[in-house]
Amino acid sequence: MRLTLEDRFRHQIDQYLYDPWDDGPVVLAVSGGSDSTALMHLAAATMDRARLHILTVDHGLRDVDAEIDLVARQARSLGVPHSVLLWRWDGSGNLQAAARNGRWTAIKDWCAAHQGDIACLTGHTRDDQAETFLMRLARGSGVAGLAGMAPTASLDLTNGHGLRVVRPLLDATRAELQAWLTGQGISWSHDPSNDDARFDRIKARGLMDQLSQLGLSQDRIVQTSNHMAAARREMRAYAVMVAKAHITQQGGDVMMPINWPQHPEVAARLFRHALHYVGQGPYPPRSDASDALWHGLKNGTGGTLHGCFVSAHGDVARISREPSAVAEPMAWPHTDVGVLWDGRWLVSCTQTGDMPDDLHVGALGGAIKDVPEWRETGVPRASLLASPAVFKCDTLISAPVAGLQNGFCVRIVADFESFLVSR
């Protein structure tokens, strides 16, 4: 007998959330649509409500006051706190991609403002998995992209703690969730952008009925995505083994051979992973762009991509952080934890006593002129420009990677090998 929706939800939570996260806070990403509304009520029905906090992101793209009000009223009825996070589009790039990245940035910033490790539940469904597969297939994605969304993922927060993303509804369909909500007498909002055929996801959704006539049903597509996920796990294990033998890391930079008599496909994948790791984007670069840069390196031509500066040094490619793409400066928090800056660098204070006021952490940049001994580190100038430094107003205090310690130290919180294992 098929388990109830509540039982399946509880099983997913037990499998992907508990131990060692059993006592930590859990945020729910709720927009007010049927999927996230079902997530909110299922979580409230099966989990300790004292742990829950509902987050709604206001994108400012249309009037969502009624949708936010509905979420707020339902949150109050459940006895769960609710916060509204603001994000505004600057008009650049793809709107849907920018909105997705902006939503995650807002959620991560909210979580980083709270101490400790936090879990975030999202309402992604089986429908989303199938649509994602079709969208990535259209973009020429490889095995990793076609593997779809994983049930769980881990992200680093700027406060040094972690955010675990859990998708407990990936085995549920949107129709099933809507039927459950209707049976419970729970209303939800309809997002008019879900009818806008200008967006790729809506185009993919509209193709499902036609594809099912060819045997490409939603179940078949998800099954294929699961096969890709299994293949991806095997490829990841092999890639880690190859990386241990051929790839090195200096500080935040990844170095790897350009010419590979063996494992050429694995090498291309590792290069793309290195761009993702160094560039710190929420998603890896598109495979066609990374492949073009990878082949250019064989002719000695480097370039920039995905927030990375890539250069060829004989038969070695060096993937460094692009100085113009690093994180914004961050105020020193005056805590024992230090600052997690640009996604990978943990900047800590080694001195005792009171800290000066007005300290901040940012890229060394042009202040490298105030570190005359930087050449002795053996690290290329371009890499040092993007390395973390501590400033008091505009005065350089410390640049540990460049050799100027002055009471501070830095370390990479997760190396490239750890990054590969987590993919």
pLDDT given at position 34: 95
Average pLDDT rounded to a whole number, residues 75-91: 91
Cβ atoms within 10 A of the Cβ of 174, count?
A: 18
Average pLDDT rounded to a whole number, residues 331-360: 81
Phi and psi at 129, nearest 5°, equal -65, -45
Q: What is the per-residue pLDDT across 111-138, written as a single tens digit (0 to 9) for each?
A: 988 878 899 999 999 999 999 999 898 8
**Residue 353 binned pLDDT confidence (cut-offs 50, 70, 90):** low
Average pLDDT rounded to a whole number, residues 176-195: 89
pLDDT above 70 for 374: yes
Angle in degrees, CA 350, 356, 358, rounded to 5:
120
Q: What is the per-residue pLDDT across 243-270, written as a single tens digit (0 to 9) for each?
A: 999 999 999 999 999 999 888 888 998 9
pLDDT given at position 21: 54
Q: What is the per-residue pLDDT across 198-217, written as a single tens digit (0 to 9) for each?
A: 777 878 888 888 888 888 89
Q: Output the pTM of the full model.
A: 0.71
Angle in degrees, CA 290, 135, 172, rounded to 5:
125
Beta bridge partners of 86: 58
Q: What is the per-residue pLDDT across 395-420, written as a single tens digit (0 to 9) for each?
A: 999 999 999 999 999 999 888 988 88
Annotated binding site: 31-36
CB 239 within 8 A of CB 420: yes
Secondary structure (3-state) at 300: coil
Annotated binding site for ATP: 31-36
Report how far residue 401's alpha carbon sits from residue 389's, in angstroms, rounded to the nearest whole number: 8
pLDDT above 90 for 10: yes
CB 402 within 8 A of CB 379: yes
